[in-house]
A and B are shown apart, each in its own frame.
Chain A
Amino acid sequence: MADAARGRRISYRLRVNPIRCDGSGLCAELVPERIRLDDWGYPVADPTPLGPDLLPLAERAVRDCPRLALLLEIQGRER
């Protein structure tokens, strides 16, 4: 029961579609708190949920990615 209640709270996290991504690095500039680049310049997304402070920046990174390779994944919601 407690799990179900917790499960209904929605949280967001960033995820990279690695097939689309060409390593422009824009996302790491916009949300360095959640995206860092590996040694080859490709983004590594930290799966920690985004707080309200970071969400607007994350949304902008998703919108501005030149390859549309960044996703906001919704967690904790019933399918």
Chain B
Amino acid sequence: MSAVATGERLLAGPTAWVAESLAEHRRRLGAAPAGNQVLEAIEVAGLRGRGGAEFPAGPKWRAVAGRRGTPVVLVNGAEADPLSLKDRTLLVMRPHLVWDGTLAAAEVLGAAEVVVYIGRDHADARQAMAAAMAERRASGDIVRRVSIRFVAAPASYVAGEETAAVRVAGGGPPLPTFRPPRPFERGVRGRPTLVHNVETLAAAALAGRGAGATTRLFTLGGAVGRPGVTEAPIAASLGELLERAGADRSSAAVLVGGCSGTWVPLLQGRELGLDQLGAGCGSVHVMEPGRCGLAVTAGILAFLAEQSAGQCGPCRVGLPAVARVLHRVALGGARADDGRLLSRWASQLSGRRGACAHPDGAARVLASALRVFADDLRRHLHRGPCPGALDG
């Protein structure tokens, strides 16, 4: 793996599953950079969001700054994808790095409020962030003119979507809204709101110290010898990450980018860069050898269908339909036309059919499954389920 100076890494420093103390953090990285320094640095570095959408961070800060009204900074640590652990890891181990980025944003935008939005079930992450703030206050590190509020993110897939997060932070339900208005125009309680994934804010804090924001966090899982969170260059190849994970070489495919990500064949995909593949939430999940990719994808589609907010027709009706047909293709009862039906639905569900990108995500994982498991699909349609679909 190409060398990256340790000072430029998010998880450089102690390796224990506990928060790095404020004293240690400051000794290792020096004082927190000023807000305008961070803003300039993320623009130079071309920092992009690490929550999945990969929107450029600099323009987002500028957009919020350009609005009337007192901004809010929403720190998004909902991490609702069951295949991702990197946000929790970062919050537990490096809360001060996340705070540095958050407070820099609040300072340069003149925000009156910071909302820390962390998964309801991620108590250790929430505690680490709260303890780190208490530590700052106790050390005389006064956080002026900004109130800090912790809000529990409901344990649903779409609760991490930015407009749903904004709504929960305003006391509403975890349901996405139609755009416009976008959060930077009208966010928490109508205020212009900067919503960033926690890793984006931590990367901003490093960038403000002169680092290049050249690495990101990946969650390695599935059929791997070394599961867990790892840090690698943004453009690392899939092969490098699989090597690091100790991936089972007899596996057929890898799911990159979480439950709404993209299937990549293990044999042909190794040379591809994670940046080209679209790392999404940064999850790299290796399929168990011998398992049937169609059956695994049917399970994912059932999950995504169940997690739909149910607000938009294509998602509410289309996702269960896809899940049903994929289930019968994978496990028995397929009809001759099912392959064509699934391809048509993959295309019908993509292209912003919902208020949020949930249907697009479902369409993406479906389309990639139809591509990567095309041979399996043909066999299933002609001869019924394979052994790998029926066990496990």
- Verify B355–A18 contact, CB threshold 8 A: yes
Chain A neighbourhood of B311, CB < 8 A: 18-19
Q: How far is the CB of A67 from chain B (nearest CB, A)?
A: 11
Within 8 A of B (CB), among A39-78: 39-42, 44
- Verify A18–B312 contact, CB threshold 8 A: yes
How many angstroms from the CA of A18 to the CA of B321 in the assembled complex?
A: 18
Main SS at interface, chain A = loop
Chain A neighbourhood of B353, CB < 8 A: 18, 38, 42, 44
Known: A18-B353, A18-B354, A18-B355. A40 touches B313 (CB 8 A): yes
- Verify A19–B317 contact, CB threshold 8 A: no
- Verify B355–A38 contact, CB threshold 8 A: no
Q: How many A residues touch B, CB cutoff 8 Å?
A: 13
Q: How far is the CB of B384 from chain A (nearest CB, A)?
A: 25
How many angstroms from the CA of A61 to the CA of B315 in the assembled complex?
A: 23
Q: Hey, what's the 0/1 contact readout for A13-42 against B, CB within 8 Å counting as 1? A: 000011111110000000000000011111
- Verify B351–A23 contact, CB threshold 8 A: no
- Verify A42–B313 contact, CB threshold 8 A: yes
Chain A neighbourhood of B177, CB < 8 A: 19
Chain B neighbourhood of A39, CB < 8 A: 318, 321, 344-345, 348
Chain A neighbourhood of B344, CB < 8 A: 39
**How many Cβ-Cβ contacts under 8 Å join chain A to chain B?**
44
- Verify B345–A44 contact, CB threshold 8 A: no
Q: How far is the CB of B64 from chain A (nearest CB, A)?
A: 14
How many angstroms from the CA of A39 to the CA of B347 in the assembled complex?
A: 11
Known: A38-B318, A42-B353, A44-B353. A18 touches B313 (CB 8 A): yes
- Verify A19–B318 contact, CB threshold 8 A: no
Is B17 on the interface with A (CB-CB < 8 A)? no
Q: Hey, what's the 0/1 contact readout for B328-368 against A, CB within 8 Å counting as 1? A: 00000000000000001100100101110000000000000
Is B59 on the interface with A (CB-CB < 8 A)? no
- Verify B312–A19 contact, CB threshold 8 A: yes
- Verify B351–A44 contact, CB threshold 8 A: yes
Q: How far is the CB of B192 from chain A (nearest CB, A)?
A: 14
How many angstroms from the CA of A42 to the CA of B315 in the assembled complex?
A: 10
What residue of chain B has the Cβ atom nearest to residue A15's Cβ? B352
How many angstroms from the CA of A20 to the CA of B177 in the assembled complex?
A: 11
Q: How far is the CB of A73 from chain B (nearest CB, A)?
A: 9
- Verify B313–A22 contact, CB threshold 8 A: yes
Is B69 on the interface with A (CB-CB < 8 A)? no
Known: A39-B348, A40-B321, A44-B348. A19 touches B355 (CB 8 A): yes
- Verify A18–B348 contact, CB threshold 8 A: no
Q: How far is the CB of A51 from chain B (nearest CB, A)?
A: 21
Q: How far is the CB of B185 from chain A (nearest CB, A)?
A: 10
Chain B: residues with CB nearer than 8 A to chain A?
Answer: 177-178, 311-315, 317-318, 321, 344-345, 348, 351, 353-355
28 contacts between A and B (CB under 8 A): A17-B178, A17-B355, A18-B311, A18-B313, A18-B314, A18-B315, A18-B353, A19-B177, A19-B178, A19-B312, A19-B355, A20-B178, A21-B313, A22-B313, A23-B313, A38-B314, A38-B348, A38-B353, A39-B344, A40-B313, A40-B314, A40-B317, A40-B321, A42-B313, A42-B318, A42-B353, A44-B351, A44-B353
